[in-house]
């Protein structure tokens, strides 16, 4: 079965537990508790999109079948950050956000392995041997495009061959194809491209939840409140994460104590003020207070318009008023999908 978790993060229902439902995080296979049956989903899982959810769902089915605990084996940082740092893709989630998604999905334990150059250049059989060493391992699931070992020669078919006759069930999960991508497979790469193009509403259909960013509110130029009458919470863009393309978006903002407010989010360089630094500025509707130093979480619902260089402050203020009205209309439609509190 499938349930909802904080604004449409999908999770399989709890299938089996030997203790209270608390997710644990460890960093090596040697730390695994003994005398517990395990089934693991394996992958990098950036974004934990619907294709990834299918892989984890297959592991949940195996866990129910074998009366085992449900776990995930994942990796951090991205393997390309080790082998080809210049080629590493920007991420859809921080490590902390990924762990929160796993928790919401009902995962009992996450093993985060650090992919060193030595680890990545080992023959695939070495990784399979380390998996075989897991006490009471009953099953593994992976997407059909999952690879491991030197030259990416390891794959689920090799896993099936290796564990044949060893009482470990291997589930190779076919790629999920989506009409949003004209029948092409759902992938983190495709979702990154959509977000960069500002198609956050389409990306959310592939993620199974709204795309979001999280950070600490920093001091900005101070123009939003003082000059325009629309104060904003400013997040400094971080390297190695995907940011929506420049423009104005309707969305939600979660602030401390779990309160959720409608929001208008501007991403860009503020060309009207001849800015050069890219910023993320969020006008939180209905909120009054000082947010400096506070952690906020912003969710993107739909792009309203692209970034514009206005001829005057009055023209900009008028457009902001129109943007707020447009955002309110969009968010009224989505309000049932994204509750204001959690």
Do 69 and 20 meet the contact criterion of CB atoms below 8 Å apart? no
Relative to beta strand 38-42, strand 137-143 is parallel
Whose tokens are 């904080």? That residue is: 6
Do 303 and 270 meet the contact criterion of CB atoms below 8 Å apart? no
- Residue 154: phi, psi to the nearest 5? -80, 145
Q: CB count, 10 Å around CB of 13?
A: 10
Residue 172: active-site member: no
H/E stretch holding 321 reads helix 313-334
Which among 281, 307, 314, 328 is annotated as catalytic?
A: 281
- Whether the bond between 150 and the residue before it is cis, its omega within 30 degrees of 0, is no
Buried b (16+ CB within 10 A) or exposed e, 247-270: bbbbbbbbbeeeebbbbbbbbbeb
Do 310 and 320 meet the contact criterion of CB atoms below 8 Å apart? no
Cβ neighbors of 163 (< 8 A, separation 6 or more) are 128, 132, 140, 170
Which residues are identified as catalytic? Answer: 281
């Amino acid at each position: 079965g499938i349930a909802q978790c904080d604004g449409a993060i999908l999770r399989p229902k709890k299938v089996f537990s030997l203790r209270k439902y608390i997710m644990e995080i460890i960093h090596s296979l040697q730390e695994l508790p003994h005398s517990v049956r395990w089934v693991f989903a394996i992958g990098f899982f950036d974004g934990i999109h619907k294709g990834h959810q299918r892989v984890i769902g297959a592991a949940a089915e195996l866990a129910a079948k074998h009366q085992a605990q449900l776990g995930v084996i994942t990796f951090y940082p991205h393997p390309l950050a080790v082998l080809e740092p210049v080629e590493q893709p920007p991420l859809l989630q921080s490590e902390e956000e990924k762990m929160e998604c796993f928790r919401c999905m009902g995962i009992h334990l996450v093993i985060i392995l650090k992919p060193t150059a030595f680890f990545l250049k080992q023959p695939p059989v070495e990784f399979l041997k380390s998996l075989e060493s897991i006490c009471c391992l009953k099953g593994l699931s992976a997407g059909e495009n999952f690879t491991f070992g030197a030259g990416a020669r390891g794959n689920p078919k090799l896993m099936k061959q290796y564990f044949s006759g060893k009482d470990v069930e291997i589930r190779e999960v076919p790629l999920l194809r989506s009409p949003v991508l004209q029948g092409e497979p759902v992938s983190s790469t495709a979702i990154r491209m959509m977000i960069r193009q500002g198609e956050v509403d389409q990306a959310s259909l592939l993620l199974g939840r709204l795309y979001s960013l999280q950070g600490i509110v920093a001091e900005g130029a101070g123009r939003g409140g003082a000059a325009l009458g629309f104060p904003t919470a400013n997040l400094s863009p971080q390297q190695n994460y995907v940011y929506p393309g420049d423009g104005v978006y309707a969305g939600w903002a979660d602030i401390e104590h779990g309160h959720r407010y409608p929001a208008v989010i501007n991403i860009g360089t503020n060309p009207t003020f001849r800015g050069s630094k890219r910023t993320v500025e969020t006008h939180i509707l209905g909120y009054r207070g000082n947010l400096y130093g506070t952690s906020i979480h912003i969710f993107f619902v739909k792009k309203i318009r692209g970034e514009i260089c206005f001829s005057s402050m009055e023209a900009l203020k008028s457009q902001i008023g129109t943007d707020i009205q447009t955002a309110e209309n969009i968010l009224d439609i989505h309000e049932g999908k994204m509750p204001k509190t959690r």
